[in-house]
Structure 1
Amino acid sequence: MTMNDKMQVSILASSSQGNSLYIKTPRHKILIDAGLSGKKIKNLMALIGEDIAQVDSILVTHEHSDHIRGVGVLARRYGMNVYANAKTWAAMTAKIGVVPDSQKHLLAVNSLLDLDDVTIESFSVSHDAVDPQFYNIHYQNKSFVDLTDTGYVSDRMKYLIQNADGILMECNHDLQMLRNGYYPWSLKQRIISDSGHLSNVDGAQALLDVIGNQTKQVFLGHLSPENNLKDLAHETVSNLLQANDYGVDHDFWLRDTDAEHPTDLTTI
């Protein structure tokens, strides 16, 4: 099997300020979310040697601006197909502007969509959006999971993403930094609620339950610039996994993501 026969992934940007990831298979080039400006996403793609004009589809997780900011611009400029569930479409339409009907597609929560060589599995999460869903991308016998923006990881979620080859897991905040920070109490409550975001420890605990023998790439994402540090998130997750006898950077790679710089295009 050559490189052109495999699935490759780059986390273009991941933080509470903007999110987008790129998935490449032999027959499709897909973005999950486009939460930065169209120009910024184009430039991030160029940094990994990819052309934004070749992207054919955008999968939208939910209507929050850090996930949809560039959706409308990219869809109109490059003719991309946009997939989201009905409630998300209703919530985001006024925010992203007109998308031609021929490019608008419904992808219901907890469903499967076959696109030639890739199967997209949507699954519900617990977040304060109208109908948030994230994705498990299947190509041949490989899978890559995008899971951020959830207040907790249910047993059903764990079952669906068990033993994925690659995982982007939310590590939004360090609980102590959040508690000691300047956010108003109401916002702190929202973040730590069951419809908010996963902490570093929450993300690590979820990984303990889903990493399997096939898992080779684990990315830590959606870090808050106000309530987390990249080194702190990495150390917290790594230490907890190693304490439970997981072979960090031996059996699988534990990788950081960034708000401004893409990860290398990685084969899954």
Structure 2
Amino acid sequence: MEFRFTVLASGSTGNATLVQSGDKMVLVDAGHSLKKLEELMSQQGVSGHDIDAVLITHEHSDHIKGLNALARKYELPVYANEATWGALERHTSHVPAERRVIMRTGDEADFGSMRVRSYPISHDAAEPVGYTFMDDGYKLSLATDLGYVSDMVRRSIIDSDVLVLESNHDPEMLRMGRYPWNIKRRILSDIGHLSNEAAGEALCELMTERTRRVYLAHLSLNHNMMELARITVNSVMEDRGHFFRKDEHPLRDTYPHQPTPWDQIKRKSL
């Protein structure tokens, strides 16, 4: 049974991730226009007709921009908790009632053999969540838009085979950047975004012998760089005594306008 995923896009310009197990496929967030989402999916050999459902993390535009058009064109069910549905209604979403599925935070949903569980995160949205995906003993966790890694987040995503974790900004680049101070304060707060240093500190607790790869996600275009994120995360982990073997390269990049290669989730060979 194939269990794989691709991060179609990640960052403040738009977010979307495909997760597939066997003949079931779900899309997490739809943060680009329908045209862009279809282009990204096409690059991965996928059509909107292949998707079984859309899961929404929260109502910010970089996560729902193409939701209405995508759900209508392909007649897709959309999963979100009740507070997020309320926020979506107040903003831009007009998903038909028959397509709306309420998935309470902490609940599970099954798509074939794949089980999805949501968990609460800290972000400035109505009731934001992350998702874990489990199939045949394997575990994939998606954790972005985190103000900080709470005990609940830690319990939910620890011991994942593959982890997609936010590494949003370098604090000094952010402080020196052109954003107004109120936006900088929000990003740096407990309901904002995870810094490179905070991502490295979190990984010291989250990575186990089971963890094969970590994708650094939701990087700021203005206040971060891919290489800087990798170097900082590595440095923080090494400072705390966590060293990768020289033949291992577990830190992977994600991109704002192009997908990551399909990644099949399986354990390391012993």
TM-score between the two structures when normalised by the length of structure 2: 0.94
The CA deviation at 1:29 is 0.8
Distance 2:27 2:246 in 1: 27
Aligned match for 1:133, one of 113, 129, 136 = 129
Shift of 1:73: 0.7
The gaps in structure 1 that reach 5 residues or longer are: none
Overall identity of the aligned pairs, in %: 37
Task: Flag the 1:31–1:249 CA change in 2: closer, same or farther, 3 A.
Answer: farther
Matched residue of 1:158: which SS? Answer: helix
Q: Distance in 2 between matches of 1:138 and 1:130?
A: 26
Q: Structure 1 residue aligned with 2:167, among 146, 157, 171?
A: 171
Deviates more, 1:107-116 or 1:71-80: 107-116
With 96-105 and 135-144 compared, the bigger mean Cα shift is at 96-105
Q: 2:252 aligns with which of 255, 258, 261?
A: 255
Pairs within 5 Å for 1:154-165: 154-165=150-161
RMSD of aligned residue pairs (Cα, Å): 1.4
1:201 equivalenced with 2:189 (yes/no): no
Shift of 1:123: 0.4
The separation in 2 between residues aligned to 1:56 and 1:93, in whole angstroms, is: 22
Preserved CA contact (<8 Å) 2:80 2:103: yes
Aligned length: 264
User: 1:177-211 CA deviation, whole Å, 9 max, x = no partner?
Assistant: 00111111111110000111000011111111111
TM-score calculated relative to the size of structure 1 = 0.94
- Structure 2 portions without partners, runs of 5+: 266-270
Q: Distance in 2 between matches of 1:249 and 1:177?
A: 30
C-alpha displacement of 1:41: 1.0
Secondary structure, counterpart of 2:152 in structure 1: helix
Moved over 6 A (4+): none
Secondary structure of the residue aligned to 1:18 is coil
**Structure 1 CA distance for aligned equivalents of residues 247 and 235 of structure 2:** 14
1:42-88 deviation line (CA, Å, top 9, x unaligned): 11111122222211111000000000001111100001110000010
